[in-house]
Chain A
Amino acid sequence: MFGLANPDTFARVTRPLIAPLWVIAAGLLITGAVWAFRVPEDALQGDTVRILFIHVPAASLGLAVYGALGLSCLFYLIFRHSLADAAARAAVLPGAAYTGLALITGALWGQPMWGTWWVWDARLTSMLVLFLLYIAYAVLRGAFDDEGRAARAASVLGLVGLINLPIVKFSVDWWNTLHQPASLLRAGGTSLDPAYLWPLLIMMAAYFALFLAIWLTTLHTEIMRRRVLAMRARQAREDRHV
């Protein structure tokens, strides 16, 4: 497994996966989307229930991708391997995008269902905090002139965010029960009809494949960028010596 830590090996092994992943992601997305428009309307929610198929996978993947980011940070701190740092960085954009999508679709869903765009309830607040954690990692990673310094600091923060997330989740749950009884949240949380379950699972898989495709593509770009930089540096040295 640790053979993969070598950027060249990693690039060689994962290179053939990238194109198929994009194709799979596209196929699943189209299938899921078409299916989502063919499910019967919900008795209670009508057409708006279809937001479910965009919203729920986005929220789950937003969380899961942060897990991947935090683990990459942990690996970086243990093995000091730049590939782990690149992996953490490559997870920021898709993770933040999923989380942002979950927040926006949640607001769009909340407007017809609850009559308001935003509620300060536990779920929404902890998703917002997740979004902030992505931003925090990204700004810290970009705040230094020295690459190694930036990678070390940001990795510590990414790891701390991993610990902090369940704590925030827990505290926000507690806060929610204190302020408002759970009257609103039940609307979406009913047990799912199989007619909804299958397209939902397909959309989940689609989001996951899309994340993997973006992740690997970004990593490959990063490896190539470093190769170019190394080549340029070597070229500059040789020119000087001539």
Chain B
Amino acid sequence: MDIESRSQHGVRPMITLSLKDLAVRRGDRTLFEGLDLDVAPGEAVSLTGANGAGKSSLLRVVAGLLAPVAGAVRFEEGGQALEPAEARARHLHLLGHQDGFRSGRTAADELAFQVGWCGGTVEAMEAAVRRLALGALLPLEVRRLSAGQRRRLALARLLAAPRPVWLLDEPLSPLDSHWRAEVGQILQAHLEGGGMVLAAVHDPLPIPARTCPVGGAA
């Protein structure tokens, strides 16, 4: 077992996520309604559906960045309901198309800020940098990174700041086949450590995952 996944054990609280009768609207269009989903620690769920079905919106609703028109998102720790704002501030990672890296700053500065902001340590960040082979990229300005390199930099935040709930929006799309396999292992280690993964995908995840279709049915 490698360093990160061992450090993930023990520190991580076991969080359960449940979505009840969720309905989400963008503008005057209802994306989906009546969506129920329960995710336990150690579980991965693939959100599937056509473009515009509402997969990304669902992730933003779980992250508290978008208000549902009906239904509720609940986080529980050991059967105890958590305050949603508290849970989102401490137990959630959202990895979307917009990674929050400012293009004119160096990868090292930006990663250090994001990891610190999410509560990670310097040691964990160094371990994550090694795991994702980012060492040579850190002195570069973010604008000089390719899409795949940027995605790896963003993944380093998830590794370095241990939070159990990972909300991933197309996590693999810019990565090559080597890094897709590597990220598959990272996700697997995260699940084994008691974390959960909720991912919007078009291609299946390289790990065993339940499928939850979004939209379309309504």
Q: Are B28 and A146 in contact (CB under 8 A)?
A: no
- Taking a contact as CB atoms under 8 Å apart, the answer to whether A229 and B27 are in contact is no
For chain B residues 1-36, which have a beta carbon within 8 Å of chain A?
27-28
The main secondary structure of chain B at its interface with chain A is loop
Query: Which residues of chain A come closer than 8 Å to B27, judged between CB atoms?
Result: 146-147
A147 nearest in chain B by CB position: B27
Contact code string A142-160 (vs B, CB < 8 Å = 1, else 0): 0000110000000000000
Whether, in the assembled complex, A167 has its beta carbon less than 8 Å from a beta carbon of chain B, the answer is no
Q: In the complex, A230→B27 CA distance in Å?
A: 12
CA distance A172 to B210 in the complex (A): 65
In the complex, what's the smallest C-beta–C-beta distance from B22 to chain A, in angstroms?
18
Q: Restricting to A140-199, which residues have a CB under 8 Å from any CB of B?
A: 146-147
A233 to B27, CA, bound (A): 12
Give 5 A-B contacts (CB < 8 Å), ordered by A residue.
A146-B27, A147-B27, A229-B28, A230-B28, A233-B28
Number of interface residues of A (CB under 8 A): 5
A226 CB to nearest chain B CB (Å) = 10
A212-242 CB mask vs B (1 if < 8 Å, else 0) is 0000000000000000011001000000000
B69-83 interface bits toward A, Cβ cutoff 8 Å, 1 = contact, 0 = none: 000000000000000
Specify which chain B residues have a CB less than 8 angstroms from the CB of A229 in the assembled complex. Answer: 28
Contacts of A233 in B (CB 8 A): 28
- Closest B-chain residue to A229, C-beta based? B28
A contact residues vs B (CB 8 Å cutoff): 146-147, 229-230, 233
The 5 lowest CB-CB distance pairs between A and B, nearest first, are A233-B28, A146-B27, A229-B28, A147-B27, A230-B28
Task: State which residues 137-157 of B face A: CB under 8 Å.
Answer: none
How far is A146 from B66 in the complex, measured between Cα atoms in Å? Answer: 13
Q: Which residue of A lies closest to B28 (CB)?
A: A233
Measured between beta carbons, the chain B residues less than 8 angstroms from A146 are 27
A147 contacts across to B, CB distance below 8 A = 27
Residue numbers in A under 8 Å from B28 (CB-CB):
229-230, 233
Q: For the complex, give the distance between the alpha carbons of A146 and B25 in Å.
A: 12
- Chain B residue nearest in CB terms to A146: B27
Nearest CB on A from B25, distance (A): 9
Question: How close is B50's CB to chain A, nearest CB, in angstroms?
Answer: 14
Least CB distance from B81 to A in Å reads 24
A77 to chain B, nearest CB (A): 14
Chain A residue at minimal CB-CB distance from B29: A233
Alpha-carbon distance between A183 and B27 when the two chains are bound, in angstroms: 56
**What distance in Å separates the Cβ of B204 from its nearest Cβ neighbour in chain A?**
30
> With the chains together, A233 CA to B28 CA distance in Å?
8
How far is B28's CA from A147's CA once the two chains are assembled, in angstroms? 10
> Would you give the shortest CB distance from B30 to chain A, in whole angstroms?
10
Complex CA–CA separation, A113 to B28 (angstroms): 56
Cβ contacts B23-60/A at 8 Å (1 or 0 each): 00001100000000000000000000000000000000
Residues from chain B with a CB closer than 8 A to the CB of A230 are 28
> How far apart are B20's CB and chain A's nearest CB, in angstroms?
21
Q: Which partner residue on chain A sits nearest B26 by CB separation?
A: A146
CA distance A146 to B28 in the complex (A): 10
Q: What's the least CB distance linking A237 to chain B, in Å?
A: 10
- Provide the bound-state CA to CA distance between A113 and B27, in Å: 54
Q: Closest chain B residue to A148 by CB distance?
A: B27
Q: How far is the CB of A240 from chain B (nearest CB, A)?
A: 12
Q: For the complex, what is the distance from the CA of A137 to the CA of B92, rounded to whole Å?
A: 36
Q: How far does the Cβ of A208 sit from chain B's closest Cβ, in whole Å?
A: 36
A229 to B27 CA separation, bound complex (whole angstroms): 12
